[in-house]
Chain A
Amino acid sequence: MSIAAALSTEASAGPVGGGGAQAQPVRKARLGAYLLLAPGMVYLFVFFVLPIFALLATSLYVKTPGAELGVYDPAFRWQNYLESLGAYYPEILRSFGYALVATVAALVIGYPMAYVIAIRARGKPLLQGLLLVLVIAPFFTSFILRTIAWKQILADEAWVVAGMKFLGILPPDGRLTATAFAVVCGLTYNFLPFMVLPIYANLERMDTRLVEAGGDLYANGPTTFARITLPLSMPGIVAGTLLTFIPASGDYVNSSLLGNNATTMIGQAIDRRFLVTLDYPTAASLSAILMIIILVLVMVYVRRAGTEELL
């Protein structure tokens, strides 16, 4: 979205340097822009572009016959990808499944939060600030600690389980720890702020006079929301769902702390391949597969949502 904006300014700046007296300042301005970009470019080249190539190269390595554990020879062994897919497609599917459920849950929980902070608390900066701090507050504690806390919340002897059993939602011998439910809960909780903040930023800018205009034109509250507020907040929803879905699908902390052997996500598998079995080619090819799938999904999603028009 912002990339598109950057590209369009680049494009419009392009033909300006036509010549004459104008050319000199334009060239100078462009040089300045490159200088400003340089630190970031260098940093990303060294710590992102090079490692990506290293990763992609590793994904095609071949095991040296008779060599020690973790030693591989450079090669172009494309079968690595097929073997990784064959061995880990359940984890891949499960990861995207969990991420999807967590994203939907975060949207359902997060949208009303963002709406209240941006629209209902508008004009009350103190309340707005307090609510925003509450949304961001979890970041003051470590991600791992917060996830471990969910173990306590969902523990057999805790009130959540007791309450659900009392209501008959959970069978008498049921439990929540080490289940898919716990993993999705953890994912939803951990990525909720990434859903709330973009939607908040979007709704914050919304002109509430449009809501008045909706009421004036015979649309009641729910209709005004569905026809005006919701469509206008689509860019925020798209940004929020992407910021939730992408890290959630690659997450390995929640499933390892809150799940069991049957809830393994792809992040965990990559983690284990890299660090436990030292199977670098498989781990690298799984990483590449994950990246490609996410990239394709995001492109299809942004197209589908048609949010370019709104920005």
Chain B
Amino acid sequence: MSASASTRPDESGADLVLEHVTKEFATFTAVDDLSLTIPQGSFFALLGPSGCGKTTTLRMVAGLESPTAGTIWINGKDVTDTKPYNRPVNTVFQSYALFPHLSVLENVAFGLRRKKVADAREKAQQFLDLVELGHLAERRPAQLSGGQQQRVALARALVNNPAVLLLDEPLGALDLKLRRQMQVELKRIQTEVGLTFVHVTHDQEEAMTMADTVAVMNAGKIEQMGRPEDLYELPRTAFVANFLGQSNLLPGSVVDSGELVGVDVGGARVQLPADRAVSTSGKVLVGVRPEKLHLVAPGEEPQAGWNVLPDAVLTDVSFTGVSTQFRAEVPGLGTLSVFEQNSRGSRAAAAGDTVRLAWDPAYTFGLDGDEDVDDGVTDGDE
């Protein structure tokens, strides 16, 4: 059922390409002019808060929703109007959606039987062994635990050797410990089978642990895409800076340009590498991650060339073992977070102390000054 036989010669190496894909529902736009290329064999994560359009994107790739506009290509073939059962794509559903009337083995063999694969039972058994559930083949899904059902759902999708494997928050229903275990396991399996995985999640840690490439989605658009390290170290929007980990974002205005841009933040002058800034004139947001900040107690001197914020008053000190987390109130800038490693014992700083905050300018990033400082801030860890 080749809806259109046209291929894209320039993208022939790419496994999954979305081109200007838009999905409008009656009352809102879930996905807004999204373009995306996911290379073959990669572990790709779509990360975003609920309602950002990540699941809708996944469902459009699976064929369970059809885009209002745009084109979806898989292996150079236009599949936009192809029915789900004719797409070389399989999904691990959030609810697993295992067939309750079939045995675990028959669940896994379901896709193979539809494709009339000769040794369906043997192949299904082989993939059950891969997820270490070979001994439960004759059970019903209801007789398995949540984690086991999750593995069956994974085996049921993997066994078909799809061009793209879609995972819709597959670890969402598992408890924290099992989730961490499955993250490692999923990564292992992906490396072993070498398929393209597209993983949808709202858990930033999950996305960063597993994926080669993370796309942060917000309000139907991709905010930023890249390697987890790059996204973390150099966020380009306030949303990414806040959604992926924590950030201190300080509103300021550029007073001096050059390779190191001078910025006035609340009366203090800090430096920002020009190549790490979204804009280098007018109003900007100066960003720095909490673990990059250091406390400088009275009597100590910050390292030469570092950015320094004077007159910070500690409002909260919480010792977490590995690190100590401080909240520091800086006049004109609000509250900043500071994480200090306790690698040389914990610091004898208490709430009410006045300190200076210092950091290496190389870790500073600059954002557009018109952005909302709190965009993408989440309450606690989901």
Contacts and interface: CB of A to CB of B under 8 A. Distances in A.
Interface in A103-152: none
A229 B297 CA distance: 69
A227 B114 CA distance: 10
B101 A219 contact: no
Contacts of A231: 101
B363 interface: no
Contact of B114 (A209, A217, A232, A309): A217
A218 B115 contact: yes
B97 A218 contact: no
Interface stretch (B83-91, B179-187, B190-198, B275-283): B83-91
Interface in B95-133: 95, 97-101, 110-111, 114-115
Given A216-B62, A217-B156, A218-B160, A209 B83 contact: no
Nearest to A212: B64
B85 A210 contact: no
A220 B83 contact: yes
* Chain B interface bracket (under 10, 10 to 19, 20 to 34, 35 or more): 20 to 34
A223 B83 CA distance: 14
B110 A219 contact: yes
Given A216-B62, A216-B90, A210 B97 contact: yes
A292 interface: no
A169 interface: no
A160 interface: no
Contact of A212 (B97, B110, B156, B157): B97
Contacts of A216: 62-64, 84-85, 89-91, 93, 157
Contacts of B95: 207, 209
B55 to A, nearest CB: 12
Interface in A216-255: 216-220, 223, 227-228, 231-232
A183 B344 CA distance: 94
Contacts of A217: 85, 90, 110-111, 114, 156, 160
A216 B63 CA distance: 8
Contacts of B114: 217-219, 223
B97 A207 contact: yes
A218 to B, nearest CB: 4
B111 A218 contact: yes
Given A217-B156, A218-B85, A212 B93 contact: yes
Contacts of B90: 216-217
Contacts of B86: 218
A212 B166 CA distance: 14
A163 interface: no
Contacts of B91: 213, 216
A216 B107 CA distance: 13
Contact of A209 (B93, B115, B157): B93
Interface core residue of A207, A219, A231 (most chain B CB under 10 Å): A219
A215 interface: yes
A309 B143 CA distance: 12
A232 B85 contact: no
A310 interface: yes
A215 B85 contact: yes
Nearest to B111: A217
A228 B160 contact: no
B84 A215 contact: yes
Contact of B101 (A209, A215, A223, A310): A310
Contacts of A220: 83, 85
Contacts of A227: 110
A227 B95 CA distance: 20
A228 B160 CA distance: 19
Given A219-B114, A231-B101, 11 more contacts: A207-B95, A209-B95, A212-B84, A213-B93, A215-B64, A216-B91, A217-B114, A217-B156, A218-B115, A232-B100, A309-B101
What are the 7 A-B residue pairs with the smallest beta carbon separation, nearest first?
Answer: A213-B97, A217-B111, A218-B114, A215-B84, A209-B97, A218-B85, A216-B91
Interface of B: 62-64, 83-86, 89-91, 93, 95, 97-101, 110-111, 114-115, 156-157, 160
18 contacts: A210-B97, A210-B100, A212-B84, A212-B97, A213-B91, A213-B93, A213-B99, A214-B99, A215-B83, A216-B62, A216-B90, A216-B91, A217-B85, A217-B160, A218-B160, A220-B83, A223-B114, A228-B101
